[in-house]
Amino acid sequence: MAISKTMSDALNTQFNKELNSAYLYESMAADFYAGNLPGFAVWMTTQAGEERVHAEKIHHYLTENGERVYYAAIPEPQAEWKSPLAAIQGALAHEKFITKSIHDLVRTARKEDDIATETFLGWYVTEQIEEESTAQSLIDKLEMVGDNRFGLYQLDKEVSTRQQDA
């Protein structure tokens, strides 16, 4: 069954939101490097890589279904955050926005009676649970560390080991 124009446009929009996410996280990584926190920078670069995988999956799905992929302009991301905690809180807020966007896509697929796309989106629904929980657990650790510089140094070492899993 062909994908409807409404569904295809909505998937294209999501494709660009995923690229936008990657751009935002690369910008956070740059800020972490500038702030002498290379471990957090690696963590964010890894996150950005996962976002590109999320975009590629949609690219592949649209192409496989004979649909075109369109690239939109990516807005300039925020460049600086006042603390590592503020950056990760920003990442969590962004992930909540993306979760809502994915849920809206599922609703569109249901409206369009597009079972294949609804099934395809199931992966993203599950992935968003992980995205939010990963950001939340880093926030919890940063709150535990508080103003302790040595704690932040240790946490920076810990998060530097993150590997891409998408």
Q: Which residues of 39-74 are buried (b: 16+ CB within 10 A; e: fewer)?
A: bbbbbbbbbbbbbbebbebbbebbeebebebeeeee
Q: Which two tokens stand for residue 34?
A: 């500038």
Which C-beta is closer to ligand OFO: that of 31 or that of 131?
Answer: 131
Choice from 51, 67, 118, 156 touching ligand OFO (CB under 6 A): 51
Choice from 16, 21, 45, 46 touching ligand OFO (CB under 6 A): 21
State yes or no: residue 95 binds ligand OFO (CB under 6 A): yes
Choice from 18, 26, 112, 156 touching ligand OFO (CB under 6 A): 18
User: How far is the C-alpha of 95 from the C-alpha of 127, rounded, in Å?
Assistant: 10
State yes or no: residue 31 binds ligand OFO (CB under 6 A): no
Q: Are 38 and 84 in contact (CB under 8 A)?
A: no
Q: Are 11 and 105 in contact (CB under 8 A)?
A: yes
Which C-beta is closer to ligand OFO: that of 16 or that of 21?
Answer: 21
State yes or no: residue 67 binds ligand OFO (CB under 6 A): no
Q: Kindly state the smallest distance separating residue 146's Cβ from ligand OFO, in Å.
A: 27
Q: Kindly state the smallest distance separating residue 53's Cβ from ligand OFO, in Å.
A: 8
Choice from 112, 131, 142, 156 touching ligand OFO (CB under 6 A): 131
Choice from 52, 54, 59, 162 touching ligand OFO (CB under 6 A): 54
Q: Which two tokens stand for residue 4?
A: 């409807």
Q: Which of 85, 90, 94, 95 is nearest to 37 (CA)?
A: 85
Q: Are 42 and 164 in contact (CB under 8 A)?
A: no
Q: Which residues contact ligand OFO (rule: CB under 6 A)?
A: 18, 21, 51, 54, 95, 98, 131
